[in-house]
């Protein structure tokens, strides 16, 4: 026996070992999210489970505050070290697709989305019929109220109309205790605009119809007037509604500490409320959005989130990212037929959107808090996802806050918001 | 070219080259982009020349112009208030610490400078809790003496001042050290001569200390101005420019327009305007100081 076969065997083994090591570190997929640390830990656990069967792929999670999410995506997407997967708000998708920052889903993934998600949700994850991401959470708004404060104020049930809502807000107000009837948010664009839009929808109106803003309609004017009336009567105190970049701050503090009787908030706040209130979370109940004089029933606005893949990532990263997302959102990654994403969303009190997840969590979704949101889904109005949507939202936020702080009257706000929105949407469409 | 000149050019070329690449080129690029319509997410080649349209828009009456002018005014107000508080306080603390017979001067100096070493991100987060209207300790303390509660960051009337106070708390130690350095440059013999002529406390301060500290104060004012114009973290972390845009300062607004909305041309026009405003202000301050010197 000569040394040559042994050398060959040695080299062959070494190459195999080397290639196995190299394969193990082959592709790194970074996942950018705004989720809190406990949810990030769950995502990392899911990534570790995935890695067991996919030794060539490593999924790294990066978390930033919600306020920094879009900026981080826009400034780092496609660059070395930039995020491969990002969780985004559907409002941002049209511009991200226009700027070619997000990768169109491969056919198999696109079919997965259109087959396994409700049509409206799949549409929100698409631009011009092209699917760009895996939808995950869907959010709607409802009236949250403190049952204990209602009892103290002698209010029997949740308000159903604007008149009952205003009356309840006045009864709940106790200036000596520093207690306000209804809490309005400021300093957080979506937090300001979504409750307003839900009240507007429940008064028969809409923010945008056929690409044109409708902020000076009678329905919208009445919504601005409701805000003005609540502020002027002292039933809402604007300075109690500030939010910070993490969507916490005095607005949350005042509701969890029982200084705010009612708020209009989304279902995903359940985890924040539970964390802030502990056992007192049992005092919180959910009811439909009060209906305005021109409304035909309670209508929340709805919006969804999705995970998209950066178009600037390498082909190997994109392939690995789509494969991970298919698994992560698929029915085999979680427990009892749910997806791992569904498990994770449920841990935050967020409604999943995949049809099989909704079935898997049907019992969980019957809790008193979440049931109110689930019932709002069928009559919800999607928040308009248009080019210039973020600027439109921030502009409207400015006018709503101006009413809250007495800087504009309801009429001035309606006229100003309409003029600004028309200019913004027209420019964005060019 | 003489041998001396050649060697001079050869020695300066590396440093000047780096300055050109990392400072002059980005500035020139920003100026060029200010005259274009460009999405910040697309290559520079997609930028189309639109002349002065961006500048017309940011100084116009639409929402873009209103927000920009509001941010410019907020930045100017923030800078003025910061300088107006930082300089007198740093002179006061500097005078106190500079007294040779003050016990614990070194400890006081360390404590004052320590605030400057704390990262702004930590300062901003702590102050957001301190300022909490209902549960914040500042309002609780003020409540003991019958004041408040004050809304601090939660009202458009007080939010900017609250951010200024946060900035002053962090920066005053640094400027105190600068003032102390300036005070040590004033010869004791001048004070001794003035005392022999009968000058005492306020007169010594007004006729000797302040005039001889002028260059240090000028330098401090310019640095404080540049620092103030660059304020970003407390706004991004705590107020998000609100309420009602009352803390929407230029750096935060440019980031929102140029990056978040990807309107790179508009963002560049805003950056160029801010740069020009800063250059004009600093030049005016120095020109004023030179005129005073000639007198």
Query: Is A199 part of any domain?
Result: yes
- Per-residue DSSP letter, B100: T
- Per-residue DSSP letter, B181: H
Query: Is A15 part of any domain?
Result: no
**Structural domain span for residue B145:** 57-294
- Per-residue DSSP letter, B229: H
* Chain A contact present for B262, CB below 8 A: yes
Instruction: Provide the 10 A C-beta neighbour count for residue B22.
Output: 9
Does one domain contain both A116 and A166?
no
Which pLDDT value is given to residue B100?
61
pLDDT (mean) for A98-112: 93
Alpha helices in A125-217, H assignment, sequence order: 147-153, 162-172, 189-201
Instruction: Quote the tokens at residue A102.
Output: 């997000």
Contact A401 B236 (CB under 8 A): no
Residues with Cβ within 8 Å of B169's Cβ and at least 6 positions away in sequence, in order, are B115, B123, B127
Q: Which residues of A touch B134 (CB under 8 A)?
A: 178, 240, 250, 253-254, 257, 259
**Structural domain span for residue A174:** 139-302+378-429
Q: Which residues of A touch B156 (CB under 8 A)?
A: 405, 407
Q: How many CB pairs under 8 A join A and B?
A: 103
Does one domain contain both A127 and A143?
no
Lowest average pLDDT, out of A127-141, A203-217, B89-103, B164-178, goes to B89-103
What does chain B come to in residues? 295
Q: Is the pLDDT of residue A1 over 50?
A: no
Query: Is B199 part of any domain?
Result: yes
**Cα-based angle A413, B248, A418 (whole degrees, multiple of 5):** 20
Contact B244 A245 (CB under 8 A): no
More confident site: A430 or A146: A146
Q: Which residues pair with A89 in a beta bridge?
A: A305
* CATH number, domain containing residue B167: 1.10.3720.10
Does one domain contain both A357 and A407?
no
pLDDT (mean) for A310-314: 91
Chain B: residue whose CA lies nearest to A255 = B134
Query: Is A339 part of any domain?
Result: yes
Instruction: Quote the tokens at residue A311.
Output: 């178009």
pLDDT band with cut points at 50, 70 and 90 for residue A75:
confident
Does one domain contain both A146 and A233?
yes
Instruction: Quote the tokens at residue A166.
Output: 């205003």
pLDDT band with cut points at 50, 70 and 90 for residue B174:
very high
ipTM value > 0.95: no
Query: Is B82 part of any domain?
Result: yes
Chain A: residue whose CA lies nearest to B242 = A187
Query: Is A7 part of any domain?
Result: no
Distance CA B133, CA A240 (A): 8
Q: Which residues of B touch A392 (CB under 8 A)?
A: none
Q: Which residues of B touch A423 (CB under 8 A)?
A: 62-63
Q: Is the pLDDT of residue A33 over 70?
A: yes
CB nearest to B245's CB, from A96, A249, A398: A398
H or E segment at B17?
Answer: helix B3-19
Lowest average pLDDT, out of A57-66, A395-404, B27-36, B131-140, goes to B131-140
Lowest average pLDDT, out of A139-143, A224-228, A285-289, B21-25, goes to B21-25
**Cα-based angle A415, A419, A423 (whole degrees, multiple of 5):** 170
Query: Is A373 part of any domain?
Result: no
Q: What are phi and psi of A285, to 5 degrees?
A: -125, 165
Q: Is the pLDDT of residue B195 over 80?
A: yes
Query: Is A11 part of any domain?
Result: no
Does one domain contain both A237 and A247?
yes
Tell me what the pLDDT averaged over chain A comes to: 89
**B243: preceding bond cis by omega (within 30 degrees):** yes
Does one domain contain both A210 and A296?
yes
Q: Which residues of A touch B61 (CB under 8 A)?
A: none
Q: Which residues of A touch B131 (CB under 8 A)?
A: none
Instruction: Provide the 10 A C-beta neighbour count for residue A302.
Output: 27
Contact B42 A238 (CB under 8 A): no
pLDDT (mean) for B232-238: 88
Q: Is the pLDDT of residue A20 over 60?
A: no
Q: Is the pLDDT of residue A366 over 90?
A: no
Distance CA A394, CA A207 (A): 13
Chain B: residue whose CA lies nearest to A391 = B261
Instruction: Provide the 10 A C-beta neighbour count for residue A138.
Output: 29
pLDDT band with cut points at 50, 70 and 90 for residue B42:
confident
* Chain A contact present for B48, CB below 8 A: no
* Chain A contact present for B37, CB below 8 A: no
Query: Is B67 part of any domain?
Result: yes
Distance CA A342, CA A332 (A): 11
* CATH number, domain containing residue A361: 3.40.190.10
User: How is A255-306 classified by DSSP, letter by letter?
Assistant: HHTT-EEEEEEEGGGHHHHHHHHGGGGGGEEEEPPPBPTT-SS---EEEEEE
Interface residue ranges in chain A relative to chain B, Cβ cutoff 8 Å: 65, 67-68, 70-71, 74-75, 77, 95-96, 98-101, 178, 186-188, 238-245, 249-250, 253-254, 257, 259, 390-391, 394-395, 398, 401-402, 404-405, 407, 420, 423-424
Q: What are phi and psi of B23, to 5 degrees?
A: -120, -55
Does one domain contain both A236 and A174?
yes
Chain A: residue whose CA lies nearest to B156 = A405
Cα–Cα distances in Å, from B185 out to B177, B179, B195, B214? 13, 10, 18, 12
Cα–Cα distances in Å, from B254 out to A55, A82, A315, B267? 43, 22, 33, 5
Decide: A309 and A392 in contact? Cβ < 8 Å: no
CB nearest to B244's CB, from A77, A249, A398: A398
Which pLDDT value is given to residue A14?
39
Q: Which residues of A touch B40 (CB under 8 A)?
A: 74
pLDDT band with cut points at 50, 70 and 90 for residue B70:
very high
Which pLDDT value is given to residue B1?
66
Q: Which residues of B touch A97 (CB under 8 A)?
A: none
Does one domain contain both A148 and A232?
yes
Number of domains chain B is built from: 1
pLDDT (mean) for A279-292: 95
SS3 content of chain B, % helix, strand, coil (to 5): 75, 0, 20
Q: Is the pLDDT of residue A17 over 60?
A: no
Query: Is A226 part of any domain?
Result: yes
Tell me what the pLDDT averaged over chain B comes to: 90
Chain B: residue whose CA lies nearest to A244 = B238
* Chain A contact present for B261, CB below 8 A: yes
Chain B: residue whose CA lies nearest to A64 = B237
SS3 content of chain A, % helix, strand, coil (to 5): 55, 20, 30
Distance CA B27, CA B19 (A): 11
Chain A: residue whose CA lies nearest to B42 = A99
pLDDT (mean) for B203-228: 93
Distance CA A167, CA A235 (A): 9
Query: Is A191 part of any domain?
Result: yes
**Distance, CA of A389 to chain centre:** 15
Q: B237-261 pLDDT, tens per residue?
A: 888 898 999 999 999 999 999 988 8
pLDDT (mean) for A72-80: 77
Distance CA A234, CA A244 (A): 23
pLDDT (mean) for B73-102: 91
pLDDT band with cut points at 50, 70 and 90 for residue A6:
very low
Instruction: Quote the tokens at residue A59.
Output: 């999924």
pLDDT (mean) for A275-303: 94
More confident site: B4 or A231: A231
pLDDT (mean) for A213-217: 97
Closest CA to A357 of A382, A329, A377: A329
Which pLDDT value is given to residue A72?
86
- Per-residue DSSP letter, A234: T
Contact A244 B239 (CB under 8 A): yes
Does one domain contain both A85 and A146?
no
Distance CA A357, CA A338 (A): 5
pLDDT band with cut points at 50, 70 and 90 for residue B273:
very high
Does one domain contain both A226 and A353?
no
CB nearest to B133's CB, from A98, A239, A243: A239
Q: Which pairs from A250-256 meet CB under 8 Å and 24+ separation?
A: A250/B132, A250/B133, A250/B134, A250/B154, A251/A183, A251/A185, A251/A186, A251/A191, A252/A276, A253/B132, A253/B134, A253/B135, A254/A180, A254/A183, A254/B134, A255/A144, A255/A146, A255/A183, A256/A280
Instruction: Provide the 10 A C-beta neighbour count for residue B289.
Output: 15
């Amino acid at each position: 026996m000569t040394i040559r076969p042994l050398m060959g065997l040695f080299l062959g083994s070494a190459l195999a070992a080397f290639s196995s090591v190299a394969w193990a570190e082959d592709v790194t997929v970074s996942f950018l999210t705004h989720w809190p640390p406990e949810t990030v830990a769950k995502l990392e656990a899911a990534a570790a489970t995935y890695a067991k069967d996919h030794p060539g792929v490593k999924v790294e999670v990066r978390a930033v505050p919600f306020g920094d999410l879009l900026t981080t995506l826009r400034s780092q997407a496609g660059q070395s070290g930039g995020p491969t997967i990002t969780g985004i708000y559907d409002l941002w998708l049209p511009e991200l697709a226009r700027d070619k920052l997000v990768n169109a889903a491969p056919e198999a993934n696109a079919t997965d989305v259109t087959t396994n998600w409700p049509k409206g949700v799949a549409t929100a994850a698409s631009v011009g019929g092209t699917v760009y991401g895996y939808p995950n959470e869907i959010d709607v708004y409802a009236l949250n109220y403190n049952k204990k404060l209602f009892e103290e104020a002698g209010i029997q049930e949740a308000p159903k109309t604007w008149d009952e809502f205003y009356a309840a807000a006045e009864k709940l107000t106790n200036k000596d205790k520093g207690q306000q009837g209804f809490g309005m948010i400021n300093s957080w664009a979506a937090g300001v605009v979504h409750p307003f839009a839900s009240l507007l929808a429940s008064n028969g109106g809409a923010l945008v119809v056929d690409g044109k803003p409708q902020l000076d309609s009678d329905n919208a004017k009445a919504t601005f007037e409701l805000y003005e009336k609540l502020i002027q009567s002292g039933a809402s105190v604007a300075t109690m509604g500030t939010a910070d970049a993490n969507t916490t701050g005095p607005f949350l503090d005042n509701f969890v500490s029982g200084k705010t009787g009612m708020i209009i908030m989304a279902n995903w706040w359940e985890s924040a409320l539970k964390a802030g209130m502990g056992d007192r979370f049992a005092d919180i109940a959910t009811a439909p959005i009060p209906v305005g004089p021109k409304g035909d029933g309670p209508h929340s606005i709805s919006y969804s989130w999705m995970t998209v893949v950066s178009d600037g990532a390498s082909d190997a990263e994109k392939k690995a990212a789509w494969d991970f997302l298919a698994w992560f959102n698929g029915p085999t990654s979680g427990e009892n037929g749910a997806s791992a994403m569904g498990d994770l969303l449920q841990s935050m009190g967020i409604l999943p959107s995949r049809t099989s997840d909704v079935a898997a969590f049907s019992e969980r979704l019957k809790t008193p808090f979440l049931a109110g949101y689930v019932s709002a889904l069928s009559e919800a109005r999607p928040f308009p996802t248009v080019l210039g949507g973020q600027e439109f939202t921030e502009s409207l936020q400015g006018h709503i806050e101006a009413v809250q702080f007495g800087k504009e009257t309801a009429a001035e706000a309606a006229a100003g918001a309409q003029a600004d929105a028309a200019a913004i949407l027209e420019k964005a469409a060019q | 070219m003489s041998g001396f000149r050649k060697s001079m050019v050869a020695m300066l070329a590396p440093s000047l080259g780096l300055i050109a690449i990392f400072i002059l080129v980005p500035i020139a690029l920003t100026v060029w982009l200010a005259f274009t319509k460009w999405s910040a997410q697309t290559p520079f080649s997609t930028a189309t020349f639109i002349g002065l349209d961006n500048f017309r828009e940011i100084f116009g009456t639409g929402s873009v112009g209103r927000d920009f002018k509001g941010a410019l005014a907020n930045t100017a107000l923030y800078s003025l208030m910061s300088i107006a508080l930082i300089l007198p306080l740093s002179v006061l603390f500097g005078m106190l610490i500079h007294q040779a017979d003050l016990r614990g001067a070194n400890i006081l100096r360390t404590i004052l400078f320590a605030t400057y070493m704390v990262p702004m991100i930590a300062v901003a987060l702590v102050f957001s809790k301190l300022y909490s209207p209902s549960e914040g300790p500042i309002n609780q303390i003020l409540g003991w003496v019958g004041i408040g509660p004050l809304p601090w960051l939660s009202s458009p009337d007080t939010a900017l001042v609250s951010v200024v106070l946060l900035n002053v708390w962090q920066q005053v130690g640094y400027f105190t050290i600068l003032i102390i350095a300036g005070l040590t440059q004033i010869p004791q013999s001048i004070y001794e001569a003035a005392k022999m002529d009968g000058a005492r406390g306020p007169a010594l301060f007004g006729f000797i200390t302040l005039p001889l500290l002028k260059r240090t104060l000028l330098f401090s004012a310019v640095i404080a101005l540049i620092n103030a114009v660059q304020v970003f973290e407390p706004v991004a972390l705590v107020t998000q420019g609100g309420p009602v845009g009352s803390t929407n300062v230029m750096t935060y607004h440019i980031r929102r327009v140029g990056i978040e909305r990807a309107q790179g041309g508009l963002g560049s026009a805003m950056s160029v305007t801010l740069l020009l405003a800063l250059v004009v202000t600093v030049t005016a301050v120095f020109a004023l100081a030179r005129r005073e010197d000639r007198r």
